[in-house]
Amino acid sequence: MSATSQSPDGDGGPRIAAPDGGAAPAPPRRWPTPALAATLAGCAFGVIALATSCHPAAAAAGVLGVVAALVAPRLCARRRGSACKLTLAERPQEPAARTLDDDLAAVFRRAPSALLVLDASGRVDRANHAAELLFGAEHGALIGRPFELLASPADDALGGVLRGQRLDGAELWVQVGVMDVRDGGAFRALVGVHDVTALHAEARRLADARAAAAAADRAKSELLATMSHEIRNPLNGILGMSHLLLEEELPRDQRDLVKHVQGSARSLVGVLDDVLQFARLASGHVELEQVPFDPLEVVEEVLILHHEAADRKQLRLVVVADAGVHRGLVGDVTRVRQVVHNLVSNAVKFTWSGHVRVVLETRVVALRTVALTVRVEDTGVGVPEAQREAIFERFSRGAGSGATPVEGTGLGLSISRDIARLMGGDVVVAGGECGYGAAFSFTAQLFTASGTVPGIAPALPAGRVLVAVPAEVERAQIAGFLASHGAEVVAVATADEAAAVVARVAAGEEAPFALVVGDRELPGVAWMPLLVGAGGGERPAPLILQCRLTEHVGAEILEALHGWPLVRKPLRLSRLAYYARAALGGRSEAPLFPSVRTARPRPVTERFSGRVLVAEDNPTNQKVAFVMLEKLGCTVEVAGDGREALELLDGGAFDLVLMDCQMPHVDGYDVAREVRTWGGRFETLPIIAVTANALAGDRERAEAAGMNDYLTKPITRDALAAALKRWLPAETQRAAG
pLDDT for position 424: 93
Segments in 392-445 forming alpha helices (H): 412-422
Question: Cα(560)–Cα(468) distance, rounded to whole angstroms?
Answer: 15
| pLDDT, greater one: 295 or 540 | 295
Check residue 490 and give its pLDDT.
Answer: 94
Q: How confident is the model at residue 64 (pLDDT cuts 50, 70, 90)?
A: very low
**Residue 708's pLDDT is what?**
94
* Spatial separation of the C-alpha atoms in residues 35 and 13, rounded to whole Å: 19
177-233, pLDDT tens digit by residue? 888 877 667 778 888 899 999 988 898 899 889 888 888 877 777 777 777 777 777
Compute the distance between CA of residue 208 and CA of residue 202 in angstroms, rounded to an integer. 10
How many CB atoms neighbour CB 491 within 10 A? 20
Query: What's the confidence (pLDDT) of residue 242?
Result: 85
Checking if the pLDDT of 408 tops 60, the result is no
- In the prediction, which pLDDT does 93 show? 52
Indicate the average pLDDT of the chain. Answer: 77
The answer on pLDDT for 85 being more than 50 is: no
User: What is the model's pLDDT at position 550?
Assistant: 67
- Looking at residue 605, its pLDDT comes to 60
pLDDT confidence bin for 19, thresholds 50/70/90: very low
Examine residue 570 and say whether the peptide bond preceding it is cis (omega within 30 degrees of 0). Answer: yes
Does this model's pTM top 0.85? Answer: no
> For the ranges 59-63, 335-339, 403-407, 671-675, which has the lowest average pLDDT?
59-63
> Which of 268, 266, 242, 269 minimizes the C-alpha distance to 256?
242
pLDDT computed for residue 40 by the predictor:
45
Looking at this protein, which amino acid is placed at residue 432?
G
Average pLDDT over residues 5-13: 40
Q: What percent of the chain has pLDDT over 70?
A: 75
Distance CA 261, CA 242 (A): 7
Q: Which of 713, 720, 623 is nearest to 235 (CA)?
A: 713
CA distances for 543 relative to 465, 540, 554, 565, angstroms: 10, 9, 16, 8
Mean pLDDT is lowest, of 355-364, 443-452, 473-482, for 443-452
Per-residue pLDDT at 79 exceeds 50:
no
Q: What is the pLDDT of residues 502-558, one digit of tens each?
A: 999 988 899 999 889 999 888 888 888 888 888 887 778 888 888 886 676 666 666
- Output the pLDDT for position 95: 53
Instruction: Report the distance separating Cα 615 and Cα 68, nearest Å.
Output: 77
Average pLDDT of the segment spanning 557-576: 77
Q: Reduce the DSSP state of residue 189 to 3 states and report it.
A: strand
Alpha helices per DSSP H over 562-663: 573-584, 619-631, 642-651
Q: Report how far apart, in Å, the C-alpha atoms of 728 and of each of 344, 649, 662 are.
A: 38, 18, 25
| Pairing assessment for the beta strands 329-331 and 291-293 based on DSSP bridges | antiparallel
pLDDT of 26-50, one tens digit each? 444 333 344 444 444 454 545 444 4
> Contact, 332 vs 289, CB < 8 A?
yes
Give the pLDDT mean for 328-351: 90
Spell out the alpha helix ranges (H) of 399-438: 412-422
pLDDT digits (tens, 9 = 90+) for 349-401: 889 899 999 999 999 888 888 999 999 999 988 888 778 888 887 655 554 44
pLDDT at position 685 is 94
Residue 253 region, left (φ>0) first, then alpha (ψ -120 to 50), else beta?
Answer: alpha
